[in-house]
């Protein structure tokens, strides 16, 4: 009896870890409509069609099929809150930190919209998730290099996979 209780512990721990990145909910119509409006801030560089304004070099990368945009929500939320450190001249624009100019609702709506437009498909983002990320990363005050986001996204995806796999014997 004690033994079976012990065995179930890792499973509970794994479920608790997986919860914030669960891919259950698509956005509802109202959130998509609000998100389209909130995305105007992003469209200044990423274009209303999400493809990135076609300057030379492009103003910003396309968000269509973007792994970072459709990664577990913590990743795109943090990109908007903290920005991406500019390390090369691939793009004319800069992914500046927008955490102080957008509300939790605006960020959640814009991300839910872009994660479910132009063929993208990923779970909706909630204002509570944005609020939690603000708190969790409140001590980060400089833009994060792109590779940092890529590594974290790979780790979150691996963790989610491990959590949904059958418990090891």
Contacting positions for ligand HEC (CB under 6 A): 41-42, 44-46, 60-61, 63, 66, 68-69, 76, 79-80, 84, 86, 91, 93-96, 98, 110-111, 114, 146
Of the candidates 85, 83, 75, which has an alpha carbon nearest to the alpha carbon of residue 129?
75
Shortest Å, Cβ 6 to ligand HEC: 41
Burial of 98 (0-12, 13-18, 19+ CB in 10 A): middle
CB 73 within 8 A of CB 123: yes
Shortest Å, Cβ 7 to ligand HEC: 40
Shortest Å, Cβ 65 to ligand HEC: 9
Half-sphere exposure of 57 (CA within 13 A, CB side): 10
Of the candidates 151, 134, 126, 152, which has an alpha carbon nearest to the alpha carbon of residue 81?
134
Residue closer to ligand HEC, measured from CB, 8 or 103: 103
Shortest Å, Cβ 122 to ligand HEC: 11
Residue closer to ligand HEC, measured from CB, 111 or 156: 111
Q: What are phi and psi of 143, to 5 degrees?
A: -60, 145
Residue closer to ligand HEC, measured from CB, 140 or 167: 140
Shortest Å, Cβ 13 to ligand HEC: 30
Residue closer to ligand HEC, measured from CB, 20 or 93: 93
Q: Is the peptide bond before 57 cis (omega within 30 degrees of 0)?
A: yes
DSSP 8-state secondary structure symbol assigned to residue 30: H
Residue spans of beta strands (DSSP E) within 4-58:
none
Residue closer to ligand HEC, measured from CB, 69 or 160: 69
């Amino acid at each position: 009896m004690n033994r079976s209780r012990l065995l179930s512990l890792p499973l509970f721990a794994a479920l608790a870890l997986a919860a914030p990145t669960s891919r259950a909910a698509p956005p509802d119509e109202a959130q998509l409509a609000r998100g389209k409006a909130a995305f105007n801030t992003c469209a200044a560089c990423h274009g209303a069609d999400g493809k990135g304004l076609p300057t030379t070099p492009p103003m910003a990368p396309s968000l269509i099929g973007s792994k970072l945009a459709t990664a577990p929500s913590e990743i795109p939320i943090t990109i908007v809150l903290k920005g991406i450190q500019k390390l090369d001249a691939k793009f004319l624009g800069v992914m500046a930190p927008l955490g102080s100019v957008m509300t939790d609702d605006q960020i959640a709506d814009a991300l839910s919209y872009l994660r479910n437009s132009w063929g993208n498909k990923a779970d909706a983002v909630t204002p509570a998730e944005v609020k939690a990320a603000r708190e969790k990363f409140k001590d980060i005050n400089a833009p994060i290099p792109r590779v940092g986001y890529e590594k974290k996204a790979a780790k979150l995806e691996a963790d989610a996979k491990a959590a949904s796999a059958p418990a090891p014997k």
